[in-house]
Amino acid sequence: EVQLVESGGGLVKPGGSLRLSCAASGFTFSNAWMSWVRQAPGKGLEWVGRIKSKTDGGTTDYAAPVKGRFTISRDDSKNTLYLQMNSLKTEDTAVYYCTTELGYCSSTSCYWGPPDYWGQGTLVTVSS
């Protein structure tokens, strides 16, 4: 059974930093593309960014609102995904979900699939 368990959320002041972790189990983590999706209170879903598997280059992509402030990384030896969030703003307040992403690359092209399995999320509150 696939399990994704986020941790590290909490209250932080504007301009501060926070690192979220996502412990994965039940699948071959090193082969998986992973992503973060957030949801502000009472609002819709917002894709934050992804990291490809190392086999597919291990590169990252980010949504415009977080690019340059957030960094996604992975430790395949620990089956763990990370989201480092710097220069936090009040509008970053949200539940942050860790997800698998159904993407892969062949020798000729890549398939950018959707978020598939989701964790239960961790709440990040940015407030003074």
**Closest CB 47 distance from other proteins, rounded Å:** 3
The residue with tokens 């039940």 is 26
User: Is residue 33 near other proteins by the rule CB under 8 A?
Assistant: no
User: How many positions of this chain bind other proteins (CB under 8 A)?
Assistant: 24
Cβ pair 50, 61 in contact under 8 A: yes
Pairing state between β 33-39 and 94-101: antiparallel
Q: How far is the CB of 112 from other proteins (least distance, A)?
A: 4
Residues 74-113 close enough to bind other proteins by CB under 8 A:
97, 101-102, 110, 112-113
Q: What distance in Å separates the CA atoms of residue 71 and residue 85, rounded to the nearest whole number?
A: 7
By C-beta, is 15 or 26 nearer to other proteins?
A: 26
H/E stretch holding 6: strand 3-7
Query: Using the rule CB under 8 A, is 115 a contact of other proteins?
Result: yes
CB nearer to other proteins: pick between 17 and 40: 40
Judged by CB under 8 A, which stretch of 11-19, 24-32, 41-49, 69-77 contacts other proteins?
A: 41-49
Beta strands in 1-128 (DSSP E): 3-7, 10-12, 18-25, 33-39, 45-51, 60-62, 70-75, 80-85, 94-101, 104-105, 110-111, 115-118, 122-126
Question: Can you give the binding site for other proteins, defined by CB under 8 A?
Answer: 35, 37, 44-47, 50, 61-64, 97, 101-102, 110, 112-116, 118-121
